Amino acid sequence: MNAPTAADRIWTAALVIIGDEILSGRTQDANLAYLARWLNIQGVRLREARVVPDDMEAIGAAVKACLAAHDYVFTTGGIGPTHDDITVDAVAAALGLPVVYHPDAEATLRAYYGDRITEARLRMARVPQGADLIPNPETGAPGIRLGRLFIMAGVPKITQGMLRGLDGTLEGGRPVLSASVGAWTQESRVADLLSATQAKHPEVQIGSYPFWREGRTGANFVVRAVDPQALRLAVEALMQGLSADGIEPVEGEL
């Protein structure tokens, strides 16, 4: 075993998804999965997510709790020009900061809207004092970075554009690698094998995800690890174990 290095430090993040439309079931969130994969490439693990309504206190409490528990916190939603866009105010109030107009954001919005600029549109230049901007390649309204806190749009295409601009700017550790083994079996039939394989390979994490398709029962076993060698060994052990049990394993997802 090598001594632990800075690269072994696990960097974690939380996502706060803001919006009545998610909690009412009207809109399906599409940012969590994208952010999770993007974070993993940066060497950061998404460890928690919360969905909160358009409510000052709920937003503020979630952001504060997540900042206390994780290295990075992302929010999505509630940064547009309308009355229900209260993320900036809620974050600023929770952190005890005044809300100010960011001069660069104001300039960007004035350039984007020209003589159609209005007070409502300038609302999108408001930030908690001390914040930097995250460029938005899709529309004029920027995201906001306040140290370890990233305030992003709710519309997935816009959020994804903002994340592209942040590529490589976060300090992180090693990404989690994963590999899948699929089999047409009930997961309950191989529970002991999974458990024994997990015990023999403590450096990896094995997840079991059953499915029912075409009238048949199957499962995908996902092995996750930061070390490629440990991942390879666990996958091989699992595949050999399944074969020994008379179950044909498939490398990759079924």
Q: Residue 11 and residue 247: Cα distance in Å, rounded?
A: 38
Neighbours of 159 (CB within 10 A): 25
**Per-residue contact string for residues 214-253; x = within reach of its own copies by CB under 8 A:** --------x-x-----------------------------
In sequence order, which residues have a C-beta less than 8 Å from that of residue 188 and are 6 or more positions away? none
- Contacts with its own copies, 128-167, as mask; x by CB under 8 A: ---------------------------x-x----------
Supply 133's token pair.
Answer: 């901007």
- 11-to-6, 75, 146 alpha-carbon distances in Å: 11, 17, 18
Nearest 5°: the CA angle 168, 65, 151 is 40
Does 211 contact its own copies by CB under 8 A?
Answer: yes
Task: Candidates 47-55, 126-134, 166-174, 236-244: pick the segment binding its own copies (CB under 8 A).
Answer: 47-55
Alpha carbons 214 and 21: distance in angstroms, whole number: 34
Among 130, 137, 147, 210, binds its own copies (CB under 8 A): 210
Contacting its own copies (CB under 8 A), which of 7, 9, 37, 251?
Answer: 37
Q: Is 20 in the site for its own copies (CB under 8 A)?
A: yes
Q: Residues 179, 231: contact at Cβ < 8 Å? A: yes
36 binds its own copies (CB under 8 A): yes
Shortest Å, Cβ 33 to its own copies:
4
For the bound state, the minimum distance from the C-beta of residue 123 to its own copies, rounded and expressed in Å, comes to: 7
- Strands 72-76 and 11-18 turn out to be parallel
Which stretches of the chain bind its own copies, using CB under 8 A? 19-30, 32-37, 40, 45-54, 58, 80-85, 116, 118-121, 123-124, 155, 157, 176, 178, 187-189, 191-192, 194-195, 198, 205-212, 222, 224
